[in-house]
Structure 1
Amino acid sequence: MSADPKTVVCFGDSNTHGTRPMVRFGERGRYAADVRWTGHLRAALPDSVTLIEEGHPGRTTVHDDPIEGVHKNGLPALQVALETHRPIGLLLIMLGTNDFKARYSVTAADVARSVDRLLRIVKTSESGPDSGVPKLFLIAPPPIEERGCLAGIFEGGSAKSRGFAPLLEEVAREHGAAFLDAGSVIRVSKVDGVHFEEDAHAVLGKAIAVEVSRML
């Protein structure tokens, strides 16, 4: 008899969606499914695993976007995703990049505590197997760089983002979640300082797959 199916949900922003680095603001290029880090993760997992991509460009942790719209807020979106895809065996969250836009005026500590709030929602959602809690995996996105067409939007964010990973690791520890600092294995594109090049997607997907395979 084959193994019971497992559902893995990848909840994130444009870098989970697979947005290509932007030469001009507003470009909507997206990598093919097998190029995105989620595609590399999928290829490393057995067929019994169902992998679901929940990547929304511009998604924040808990903030309504005053320019692009309230639908960019990750808090209500997470609640919908949890109910949509349950039972969820493993939930991966890679968020925080968009919180470092100048329009939000938050610190790295604020962003880490915002992720903590998301995890508290997960733990009461009854979205795991047998109405329990899914296994949790937090990924700190690599620090941003103020480059190209996105430099003004992320003004001041580069320095703040460099202190995010250790704070998020503390949150992961508090919740018994797995943790990966993506900045330890990849860098953002030199084109726009936010999104990933193809080779970075491949490296990140394979690094995540090592931990996911262990957890499953």
Structure 2
Amino acid sequence: MPVRSVLCFGDSNTHGQIPGRGPLERYDRPTRWPGVLQAELGSKWYVIEEGLSGRTTVHDDPIEGAHKNGRTYLRPCIQSHTVLDLVIIMLGTNDLKVRFNKPASEVAMGMGCLIYDIRELAPGPGGSVPEIMIVAPPPMLDDIKEWKSIFAGGPEKSRQLALEFEIMADSLGVHFFNAGAVCQCDEADGFHLNADAHRTLGIALAQEIEAIGWSVAEHQR
């Protein structure tokens, strides 16, 4: 049976940045949720990690750089890793920075743009549209330490993301998962996942993927 491929496209919580540490300090592959996902799914799946600290849905970052724009990078990323059976996107937290001044509803619209781009590229088997899953990141904690000014108003908006993402997923007919239902951010900085949260999330997403219901006929290359 052919090996299926899943692209995990996200920000620092996909990259595995350790809470309270810098962007260069990350958990090892087996600890990060995509690594946990690989272990849970086994050899019948190939899990591709694409996490970047500071990545947004559709915004060039005027401070950290235009390369933080998830939409700009998604297209070459998908074409690089085609063929893909599933694309998981977990973004949105960085869109809540004051410099972007966006409500949760517009962050969801940015997510919708990424879905449209994936469908246009059709990187699935035989030029089909792959399965797509939007994952709402866990809400930020109220105490986000020294990040308070950068994410002013962010914690409240972050609690609205899951609902807005679910509405967007329903309207576009893609899968949705609320990471906040199974894990939470670490108190060290208030918006990154610790090792336990990565493990819990990876296991939960493996169950969600298995529940999609895959058939051999849909996977002919």
Task: Read off the aligned partner of 1:198 and give its amino acid letter.
Answer: A
Task: Read off the aligned partner of 1:167 and give its amino acid letter.
Answer: E
Structure 1: stretches of 5+ with no match in the other structure: none
Aligned to 2:43, what secondary structure does the other structure show?
coil
Deviations along 1:90-120, one digit per CA (max 9) or x if unpaired, are 0000000100111110000000011001101
Alignment coverage as a number of residue pairs: 212
Matching residue of 1:74: 70
Please give the alpha-carbon distance, in whole angstroms, between the structure 2 residues aligned to 1:51 and 1:27: 22
Please give the alpha-carbon distance, in whole angstroms, between the structure 2 residues aligned to 1:176 and 1:199: 31
Matching residue of 1:37: 33
User: Equivalent of 1:62, from 55, 58, 64?
Assistant: 58
Please give the alpha-carbon distance, in whole angstroms, between the structure 2 residues aligned to 1:144 and 1:37: 18
Aligned to 1:67, what secondary structure does the other structure show?
coil
Matching residue of 2:210: 213
Shift of 1:214: 2.1
Shift of 1:212: 1.0
User: Equivalent of 1:127, from 123, 139, 155?
Assistant: 123
Please give the alpha-carbon distance, in whole angstroms, between the structure 2 residues aligned to 1:131 and 1:172: 22
Q: Is 1:149 the equivalent of 2:164?
A: no
Please give the alpha-carbon distance, in whole angstroms, between the structure 2 residues aligned to 1:143 and 1:81: 27
User: Equivalent of 2:190, from 184, 190, 193?
Assistant: 193
Matching residue of 2:155: 158
TM-score by length of 1: 0.95
Please give the alpha-carbon distance, in whole angstroms, between the structure 2 residues aligned to 1:42 and 1:27: 23
Aligned to 1:68, what secondary structure does the other structure show?
coil
Please give the alpha-carbon distance, in whole angstroms, between the structure 2 residues aligned to 1:81 and 1:214: 26
Please give the alpha-carbon distance, in whole angstroms, between the structure 1 residues aligned to 2:102 and 2:28: 33
Task: Read off the aligned partner of 1:11 and give its amino acid letter.
Answer: F
Q: Is 1:179 the equivalent of 2:172?
A: no
Task: Read off the aligned partner of 2:33 and give its amino acid letter.
Answer: W
Please give the alpha-carbon distance, in whole angstroms, between the structure 2 residues aligned to 1:111 and 1:90: 22
Structure 2: stretches of 5+ with no match in the other structure: 215-221
Aligned to 2:99, what secondary structure does the other structure show?
helix
Please give the alpha-carbon distance, in whole angstroms, between the structure 2 residues aligned to 1:190 and 1:167: 25
Matching residue of 2:11: 13
Please give the alpha-carbon distance, in whole angstroms, between the structure 2 residues aligned to 1:96 and 1:184: 16
Aligned to 2:151, what secondary structure does the other structure show?
coil
Shift of 1:149: 2.6
Q: Which has the larger displacement, 140-149 or 69-78? A: 140-149
Task: Read off the aligned partner of 2:101 and give its amino acid letter.
Answer: S
Task: Read off the aligned partner of 1:18 and give its amino acid letter.
Answer: G
Please give the alpha-carbon distance, in whole angstroms, between the structure 1 residues aligned to 2:197 and 2:122: 34
User: Equivalent of 1:90, from 86, 93, 104?
Assistant: 86
Please give the alpha-carbon distance, in whole angstroms, between the structure 2 residues aligned to 1:136 and 1:175: 10
Question: Is the Cα contact below 8 Å between 1:142 and 1:187 reproduced in 2?
Answer: yes
TM-score by length of 2: 0.93
Question: Is the Cα contact below 8 Å between 1:151 and 1:192 reproduced in 2?
Answer: no
Matching residue of 1:47: 43
Question: Is the Cα contact below 8 Å between 2:12 and 2:23 reproduced in 1?
Answer: no
Q: Is 1:204 the equivalent of 2:183?
A: no
Shift of 1:27: 5.0
